[in-house]
Amino acid sequence: MKTWWLCLVVICLWVTSCISSSYQRLRNTSGVAGSDFHAQLPFDYGSKLIVINVSIRGNTYPFIFDTGASSTVISRALADSLKLKSRTRITTRDSRGQKKKLPVGMLDTLQIGGVTFYNSTAIVVDWPEPSAIECISWAGILGNNIIRHANWRIDYQRQLIELSSDTLGKEEDFFFTDMHFAHSRPRLDIAVDSFAFEKVLLDLGSGGGIDLQLARAKKKMGKSLKHYLRSKALDGSSEGLFGTFLDSNYILRASALHMGKTRVYEPVVSLEARSKSKVGNRLLENFVLYLDYTNKRIGFSVREKDITYGYQKTFGFVPGLRDSIFRVTSIHLAGDAYARGIRQGDTLLSIAHKTPADFDYDPCRVYAFVRALSGNDSVQFVTKKSPDYLQTLYLKSL
């Protein structure tokens, strides 16, 4: 589901089916140095995305760890500083379905926790303006073309990630389920109550929870779907590689989510009209996650207590900076904000007594400010529709 009180970022890049032979040849030369390695390193998780340090030519850069990206992406700024030459071009599509043809460079070597990966293709991109992605990790996104060369153990609570050529941890500490399409992007089979959804993307580049494509849910659940639906939202805050656009989300609540032997109770699921089905960090953070590429399986740590993944408290809308103006980027139709007449796209003159000028119109400072609002019990704001009225909304469960 979407996180309605934060400026959520959902990132997912994949290469379209029209893959050039030159790109495929470059991608197939990649690998990892050594057959016996183990390393661990901390990661930042403040944005609900995993950001790790990657060393390239003696310097360290922040990269988002993204199993939902089939290829690694680096910013134009980093590519220019590395004097990276274009080796070919390829059409790419982001999580919002937007397409562009972009240059592809080759990183001779890079290091993660001291482990060296070689001949890694990297798609060069100019971040959209404004871009929350750039605020989180200006350098780039570490994709599955590199991730697939190791096994990974991700401990969200300790904010520690391990990589190895061998097994990580005790077998009995995890419930495993099959990993599909391991050499492209990891997928798994899930079930929402008795309704099975095969090959759902395991997307660590998503700050959301459980998202299902609306058309796919309608086909699987049929007439039963209307009994699960709880509310609707208009989402314009989620960001793909090439920017944002408006999507319609329907929120449903089920009794249980099944991922192999792993079960999560009372899951809240977002049905998205224009996005693909995926499982993201807001759900995965409840576990220690094991990506076993060697044996093509995904492990979830065994928990002593049942996990309930339910509704979070929300203000019912998400603000953001658009064209140097505070605007409502997303709105929950069951929330108090909508009941007061606030709509997606409305102009906000101030939020918590702050205006865009207080942040020098800096998108990254605004992004950090909006994220910090989640720690408050209430938020005050003034809309352009009612410039003389200071309104207050309180956190509540919908």
Same structural domain, 359 and 260? no
pLDDT of 2 > 50? The answer is no
pLDDT of 313 > 90? The answer is no
- Position 3 scores a pLDDT of 39
What is the DSSP code string of 149-173? TSEEEEETTTTEEEEESS--S-GGG
Interval 161-205: pLDDT, tens = 999 999 998 999 999 999 998 558 999 999 999 999 999 999 999
Residue 29 lies in a domain: yes
Higher pLDDT, 316 or 172: 172
What is the average pLDDT across 15-19?
A: 46
- Position 4 scores a pLDDT of 35
Tokens standing for residue 395: 């956190």
Same structural domain, 298 and 325? no
- Position 97 scores a pLDDT of 64
- Position 349 scores a pLDDT of 96
- Position 8 scores a pLDDT of 45
CB within 8 A of 334, min separation 6: which ones? 230, 231, 232, 316, 398
Given 116, 133, 164, the domain boundary residue is 164
Cis peptide before 62 (omega within 30 of 0): no
Cα distance between residue 27 and residue 144, in whole Å:
11
Same structural domain, 301 and 322? no
pLDDT band at 221 (very low <50, low <70, confident <90, very high): very high
Residue 4 lies in a domain: no
> Residue 329 sits in a domain of what CATH number?
2.30.42
Given 261, 291, 308, the domain boundary residue is 308
Cα distance between residue 245 and residue 297, in whole Å:
34
Least confident of 212-216, 222-226, 236-240, 252-256: 236-240
Q: The pTM is what?
A: 0.90
Average pLDDT value for the chain: 87
Residue 76 lies in a domain: yes
Same structural domain, 50 and 150? yes
What is the average pLDDT across 64-83?
A: 94
Least confident of 1-5, 84-88, 97-101, 215-219: 1-5
> Residue 183 sits in a domain of what CATH number?
2.40.70.10
Same structural domain, 277 and 304? yes
Same structural domain, 239 and 283? yes
CA-nearest of 90, 82, 89, 94 to 127 is 94
Same structural domain, 280 and 383? no
Q: Say which amino acid occupies 369.
A: F
Same structural domain, 228 and 157? no
How many domains would you assign to the chain? 3
Same structural domain, 209 and 331? no
pLDDT of 37 > 70? The answer is yes
Same structural domain, 156 and 181? no
Given 308, 332, 347, the domain boundary residue is 308
Residue 107 lies in a domain: yes
CB within 8 A of 28, min separation 6: which ones? none
Question: Which stretch of DSSP H or E encloses residue 211?
Answer: strand 210-213
What is the average pLDDT across 345-363?
A: 94
For the chain, percent of residues with pLDDT exceeding 70: 88
Higher pLDDT, 372 or 130: 372
pLDDT of 136 > 80? The answer is yes
Same structural domain, 121 and 148? yes
Residue 267 lies in a domain: yes
pLDDT band at 246 (very low <50, low <70, confident <90, very high): low
- Position 353 scores a pLDDT of 95
Query: Which residues span the domain enclosing 212?
Result: 171-308
Q: Please, is 307 exposed, middle or buried when counting C-beta atoms within 10 Å of its C-beta (0-12, 13-18, 19+)? A: middle
